[in-house]
Structure 1
Amino acid sequence: MLVPFLIMLREGLEAALVVGIVASYLARTGRAAWMPAVWIGIFLAAALSLFVGAALQLASAEFPQATQELFEALVGFVAVAILTSMVLWMRRAARSIGHELRTSIDAALMRSATPSLALIGLVFFAVAREGLESVFFLLAIFQQSPGAAGPLGALLGILVSGVVGYILYRGGIRLDLSRFFRWTGVFILFVAAGIFAGSLRHLHEAGVWNSLQGVVVDLTSVLPTDGVAGSVLSGLFGYQADPTLGEVILYVGYLAVALWLFLRPAAPARPARRTAEALS
């Protein structure tokens, strides 16, 4: 339950920040009358995300066992790729996302022949990106940890992110977003490592991958995955009581590269960009 809650809290906050920046900028520049276009973009993005998620879930239910395992492996690999790119993108874009959004709003409303459609498209693509990311995250996580706790955690994460986003928009609280995204980013990379290793196991069960299958260590008698601690570790970090050599290589190798890319010092901003952000 914790993993889908934190992932949807982070994804929901990203979407809420985008919408909050758009809404506050429209209000501050006397263009609040365009807010219906913003809501249309949000609802269209939500509808697309729900449709894609339901379609993938229904389609996978009709697959035979081997194809089901292959499908789960592919969903896992896609989720890892999206998780990694999302975390690294937010690391780079957090400082300039507000300026870029305000520039895009001005372009949509002042230089477009159909400003309402341009604004709808701007909000739609920004929110749909978060929604489609969430679809693949949740599919991968629900496949590895079936049950009602996952969907409840995801729903709770969305609700909490909506409340926090609204309070941030109204200025009721000040949240250290850079620290929040940094620590949740580290956590998500560990989640992604578990999904990555679990996807290799799905490939093996589908009969596609049969190399590096020697068991590195067997902790079944000490920390089984069907026990309380084992199930928590499995749900959080993809823990397996009997990991194979291939799974360990993927897990450790992915974490080494991803954490280095994420935690390395950011390059200093160019003077021109700092000036533009200060003016914004």
Structure 2
Amino acid sequence: MLVPFLIMLREGIEAALIVGIIASYLQRTGRSHWMPAVWIGVMLAAALSLFVGAGLQLASAEFPQRQQELFEAIVGLAATAILTSMVFWMRKAARSIKTELHDSLENALSASRNQVYALIGMVFLAVAREGLETVFFLLAIFQQSAGPGAPLGALLGLVIAIAVGYGLYTGGVRLNLGKFFRFTGLFILFVAAGLFTNSIKALHEAGLWNALQQVVFDWSHVLPADGPVGTVLAGMFGYQDTPTVSTLGAYLLFLAVTLPLFFRTPAPPQRPAVTTPASLERPS
């Protein structure tokens, strides 16, 4: 429940910040009458994300067991790639995201004859990116988590993200966004490592990867993966009580590559906590 909650919270706040930057810019430039087009773009992006997520989930339910394992592996690898690229992209692009959104808005409102459709399209693309990222994350996690905990955690994260986003926009919530996204980015790298490991395991179960299957150690009697603690660790970080050379090696290799890059990638200077619509910015 914790992983889908944090991922939905993070992605929801990202989307809320994008909408907040757009809304505050329209407000400051005397274009608040364009806000209905913004909300249309947001709703279309949300509808697309729900449609894609439901379609992939329904399609996977019809697959035979071996094809389901392959589908799980593909979704997990895609989620791993998107999660990792998102973390590093945010640390590099945070300085320019606000300017880029402002420039896109100006192009949509001044360089196009169909201003309404241009604005809807611009907002749709910006928000749909966050929504589709979230779909792949949650789909990969839902496939590895039984019961209602994961969907409830995602729903709770979305509700809180909407509340926090509104509070940031109105100035009622003070939050050090730089630290929030930095700590969640580090956490997501460990989540991505677990998804990567489970994807390698799914490839083996689908019959496509059979190398390095020797068991490294057996902790099934000490910390079983289906026990209370093991279930939490498996859901959060892809813990396995009998890892193979392949899966454990994949986990360690992923972290050995990504963690040094994460700490070496320069982050933007610290900004004050967001208190007004005009100060809404997307941090690293």
TM-score bracket for this pair, using the shorter chain length: over 0.9
Match of 1:125 in 2: 125
Which residue matches 2:237?
A: 237
Unaligned runs of 5+ in 1: 270-276
**What secondary structure does 2:241 align onto?**
coil
- Taking structure 2 as the reference length, the TM-score comes to 0.93
| 1:133-148 paired onto structure 2 within 5 Å | 133-148=133-148
CA deviations 1:117-163 (Å, max 9, x no partner) are 11111110111001100111001111111210000000000000000
8 A Cα contact 1:12 1:158, kept in partner: yes
Contact 2:79–2:136, Cα closer than 8 Å, also in 1: yes
| 1:196-222 Cα shifts (integer Å, max 9, x gaps) | 000011011111110010011110000
Provide the residue aligned with 1:224 in structure 2: 224
Structure 2 counterparts to residues 140-159 of structure 1, below 5 A: 140-159=140-159
Offset of 1:259 from its aligned partner? 1.3
Does the Cα contact within 8 Å between 1:219 and 1:242 map onto a contact in 2? yes
Q: What is the rounded CA distance, in whole Å, between the counterparts of 2:268 and 2:140 in structure 1?
A: 36
- Paired residues for 1:124-203 under 5 Å: 124-203=124-203
Contact 1:3 1:235 in 2 (8 A): yes
Q: Give the share of equivalent positions with the same residue, in percent.
A: 67
Change (3 A) 1:99 1:238: same
Question: Partner residue of 1:3?
Answer: 3
**Letter in structure 1 aligned against 2:69:** E
Deviations 1:15-54 (A, max 9, x none): 0000000001101110000001100100000000000000
**Which residue number corresponds to residue 17 of structure 1?**
17
Deviations 1:58-87 (A, max 9, x none): 000000000000000000000000001111
Does the Cα contact within 8 Å between 2:91 and 2:268 map onto a contact in 1? Answer: no
Task: Report if the CA contact (8 A) 1:94-1:178 is conserved.
Answer: no
> Unaligned regions of 5+ residues in structure 2, if any?
270-280
Whether 1:207 and 2:207 are equivalent positions in the alignment is yes
- CA distance in 1 between counterparts of 2:162 and 2:85 reads 23
Matched residue, 1:261: 261
C-alpha separation in 2, matches of 1:156 and 1:65:
31
Q: Partner of 1:31 in structure 2? A: 31
- SS of equivalent to 1:262: helix
Kindly state the Cα deviation for residue 268 of structure 1 after the two structures are TM-superposed: 8.2
Secondary structure of the residue that 2:221 maps to in structure 1?
coil
Output the CA distance in 2 between the equivalents of 1:199 and 1:268. Answer: 33
2 CA distance for matches of 1:268 and 1:49?
Answer: 30
Distance 1:207 1:249 in 2: 19
Mark the CA change 1:268 to 1:97 in structure 2 (over 3 Å): closer, same or farther.
closer
- Please state how far the C-alpha of 1:95 moved relative to its aligned partner: 2.1
Runs of at least 4 residues of structure 1 off by over 3 A?
A: none
Aligned residue in 2 for 1:65: 65
After superposition, the CA RMSD in angstroms is 1.3
Contact 1:197–1:238 (CA<8 Å) still a contact in 2?
A: yes
**1:94 corresponding residue in structure 2:** 94
> C-alpha distance in 2, partners of 1:265/1:138?
27
Distance 1:263 1:10 in 2: 20
